[in-house]
Amino acid sequence: MNKELLLENYQNTFKDTSLDKGVYAAPGRVNLIGEHTDYNDGFVMPMAIEKDIRMVIQLRNDKKVKAFSLDYDKVIEFKVDKLFYDKENIWVNYIKGIIDELQKLGNKLQGFNLLFTGNIPQGSGLSSSAALEVVTALAISDLHNINLEAVELALLAQRAENNFVNVQCGIMDQYISRLGQKDNALLIDCRTNQYQLVPFANENYQIVICNSKVERGLVDSEYNKRRKECNQAVEFFKQKIDENITALRDLDLESLEKYKAELKKNVYKRAHHVISENQRVLDAKKALEKNDMKEFGKLLYESHQSLSADYEVSSKELDLLVELASREKGVKGARMTGAGFGGCTVNLVKKEFVNDFAENIKKAYYQSSGIKADIYITDPAPGARKL
């Protein structure tokens, strides 16, 4: 929704004609490569997408907050000094979480009205939640003249999700939503929280995201199993090789192969994915820096293969989407993205074939699965900003 329409909606909802309002946006993201590496102290490389959450905000003279989500068609009222978890309106907890974290830092907040809407599909692995946190944090802090550096803001948004919403996410989503830049992906080291922009500005290629429209059902239980298996590998190597090993990040494939026979099959496979995936992220960065899209695409395919066969977090729909993509003209790479068991695939497609690709994939996916996929075409977008 453009700024004018958003302001018009605000006017109609809050009947306020004064002009001193702020309008802000924060994007969703797609993880290009580096899956299930974050909790193993490894590397990830997301980019911000051309889908976002946009928010109008205006200060009030009291302590009240009136928050209106256009997408849920509901105004929720509460006070900044009385924050309780809302079991019915989950979305408002992301906003309350931000307020809570800002106040924990000693900031005195006034009340405000806010209205927002987004076009990031919710719960599909494109991180609508981080976009909501980041846009809220930017809007509130800017309005109160609270000076939060980009990284500080991203970390605060992560704490809001961890502490108030009670979801134990890593730093990737908030980092990219805040720090993303046009024509760049972002390499993040999940051990040190350090990051680096990676140029991704090849005029001949675009990123196409295919939403399988399958809910990520098994994620929680399987996620816990994978984490346990990764920890088992770490414990094993700690005893065998070096007690300073604290994460799969510290291992290489050579050591893994050496002890293959002593490891449980699944533990070996999980470790093999994580170790090789970390290397692929670093290789992908180099490929992008050299503008080598063929190599970058190859790494995407390899990542999918590894996630499907070794980490076993793909699904028949995600495998199908990647398989169908690989048969299309102009496609250099494809893989599942996000935690798995549903959600989206990310595809590297030559620009001239993008529209055909979208049409053909939709048709073929529907024929094989009976599901209508959604397709989003995007270049790397800028991070959160004032509009």
| Residue 118 to residue 26: CA distance in whole angstroms | 9
Q: Is 127 annotated as a binding residue?
A: yes
Residue whose entry in the numeric block shows the structure tokens 């805040």: 178
Span near ligand ADP by CB under 6 A; candidates 123-131, 149-157, 184-192, 313-321: 123-131
3-state SS assignment for residue 368: helix
Q: Is 124 annotated as a binding residue?
A: yes
Interaction of residue 122 with ligand ADP, rule CB under 6 A = yes
Which bin fits 198, alpha (ψ -120 to 50), beta or left (φ > 0)?
beta
Interaction of residue 90 with ligand ADP, rule CB under 6 A = yes
Q: Which of 27, 34, 46, 118 binds ligand ADP (CB under 6 A)?
A: 118
Q: Which of 40, 129, 303, 308 binds Mg ion (CB under 5 A)?
A: 129
Distances in whole angstroms, Cα of residue 181 to Cα of each of 121, 137, 153, 177, 196: 21, 18, 16, 9, 11
Distances in whole angstroms, Cα of residue 287 to Cα of each of 35, 291, 322, 332, 345: 18, 6, 21, 13, 20
Binding mask 25-64 for ligand ADP (x = CB under 6 A): ----------------------------x-----------
Catalytic residue flag (residue 81): no
Give just the sign of the alpha carbon dihedral 350, 356, 358, 362. Answer: negative
Interaction of residue 69 with ligand ADP, rule CB under 6 A = yes
Interaction of residue 136 with Mg ion, rule CB under 5 A = no
- State the binding partner of 53 from Mg ion, ligand ADP, none, CB within 5 to 8 A by kind: ligand ADP
Q: Is 308 annotated as a binding residue?
A: no
Other CB atoms within a 10 A radius of the CB of residue 45 amount to 25
- State the binding partner of 71 from ligand ADP, Mg ion, none, CB within 5 to 8 A by kind: ligand ADP
- State the binding partner of 37 from ligand ADP, Mg ion, none, CB within 5 to 8 A by kind: none
Q: Which two tokens stand for residue 160?
A: 């809001």
Annotated catalytic residue within 41, 173, 310, 379: 173
Q: Report yes or no: 332 and 294 within 8 Å, Cβ to Cβ.
A: yes
Q: Is 129 annotated as a binding residue?
A: yes
Question: Residue numbers of the site for ligand ADP (CB under 6 A)?
Answer: 53, 69, 71-72, 90-91, 94, 117-118, 122-129, 132
- Residues acting as catalytic residues: 173
